[in-house]
Amino acid sequence: MMHTLKGPGIFLAQFIGPDAPWNRLETLADWAADLGYKALQIPCNHPHIFDVQQAAESQTYCDEVRGTLAERGLEISELSTHLEGQLIAVHPAYDAAFADFGPAALRDDPKGRQQWAATRLMQAARASQRLGLTAHATFSGALAWPYLYPWPPRKEALITEAFRELASRWRPLLDAFDEQGVDLCYELHPSEDLHDGVTFERFLAAVDQHPRCHILYDPSHLHLQHMDYLGFIDAYHSRIRAFHVKDAEFITSAHSGVYGGYQAWRDRPGRFRSLGDGQIDFKGIFSRLTAHGYRGWAVLEWECCLKEAQTGAREGAAFIQRHIIPVADRAFDDFAAGGDDVALARRMLGLDAP
């Protein structure tokens, strides 16, 4: 059954900052509502914006947060634990790079960071339920990513063990989200072990087709991997439960390719752009998600190496609104349909001719 996508929503992660209005949920909500957004996707790593531990323990706190947003015509689309999810699985090569994703006291304690992150995910599951949410956004983390390219020649046991371990770490968290009636949606993203359809399928098999294991669909990451991001919707629509509306472009270069040559984002052949400035076919995406009955939110994730953030946010709200397709309540040719019964069908086929 088709549904009209909900939106526009906006992911707050790229806009939270130390100064007003970016340092309080109320003022961020005022700003987003003024731009025309209808929902906020809220990260869980800024307790002064949203305290996920308190939300997990207090229905009163959750009701207050919802009330604050409702006063401004806003809802929560999803909570996000992208940074916490990253810490569920970190290869030692990346330990120092991700050390600041957790508490300062655990900076030199990888195991402690992993356990802290798992606790945060558990809290996010309970908080999502208290807030009346049905989906949650996260990253998978990665153990096998350093071995992405098959040189030296890949060893199947290495990849098998990486996904077995990844599944064992996530299985209790998936069960916790299942207990709360919330879908856990992995953003398929380079640097994560779950970065395309094949890796998602491998993980899904390792967690025994868990009913809460789903996808946050972001076409920008698929486009920069030269994937068919429209066909991806046809293949995986039953598992797509969240949607980041993010644009990207890939400009073929004689100097570097999909790996970017270690360059800054501005200089890479593949780079993220503000909505409407890149190459993503959003008309096709919104059409296919609508046709496949996607029930969730269309949420702007703004990342651009050229355009100023506030401009991107302002343009993004109108862009998403233009692309949302109000679903028809009847077929366009109903006026000419006539009757529809077995006797009429048999006469039309000449099967019951006099």
What one-letter code names the amino acid at 175? Answer: D
Q: How high is the pLDDT of residue 349?
A: 92
CATH topology of domain 6-348: TIM Barrel (3.20.20)
**Rounded alpha-carbon distances, angstroms, from residue 44 to 80, 91, 187, 213, 225:** 6, 23, 16, 20, 28
Q: Is the dihedral of CA 117, 118, 121, 127 positive or negative?
A: negative
Q: How high is the pLDDT of residue 354?
A: 62
pLDDT for 335 beyond 80:
no
DSSP H helical segments within 105-181, as ranges?
110-130, 156-180
Q: Percent of the chain at pLDDT above 90?
A: 93
Q: How high is the pLDDT of residue 109?
A: 97
In sequence order, what are the residues at sequence separation of 6 or more whose Cβ sits closer than 8 angstroms to the Cβ of residue 335? none
Beta strands in the chain (DSSP E): 6-11, 39-43, 75-81, 135-138, 183-187, 213-217, 240-245, 247-250, 270-273, 297-300
- Host H or E run for residue 146: none
pLDDT for 353 beyond 70:
no
Cα–Cα distance measured from residue 159 to residue 142, given in angstroms and rounded to the nearest whole number: 11
Q: How high is the pLDDT of residue 345?
A: 87
Say which DSSP state 1 is in.
Answer: -
Q: What is the mean pLDDT of residues 20-45?
A: 98
Cα–Cα distance measured from residue 219 to residue 245, given in angstroms and rounded to the nearest whole number: 8
Q: What is the mean pLDDT of residues 175-203?
A: 98
What residue spans define the domains of the chain? 6-348
Side-chain-side CA neighbours of 78 within 13 Å: the count stands at: 30
Confidence of residue 330 (pLDDT cuts 50, 70, 90): confident
Question: For residue range 78-108, what is the model confidence (pLDDT) as tens digits?
Answer: 999 999 999 999 999 999 999 999 999 999 9
Q: How many helices (H) and strands (E) does the chain have?
A: 13, 10
Q: How high is the pLDDT of residue 328?
A: 83
Q: What is the mean pLDDT of residues 135-160?
A: 96
Phi–psi pair at 337, nearest 5 degrees = -70, -40
Confidence of residue 266 (pLDDT cuts 50, 70, 90): very high
Say which DSSP state 143 is in.
Answer: S
Average pLDDT, the chain: 96
pLDDT for 338 beyond 80:
no
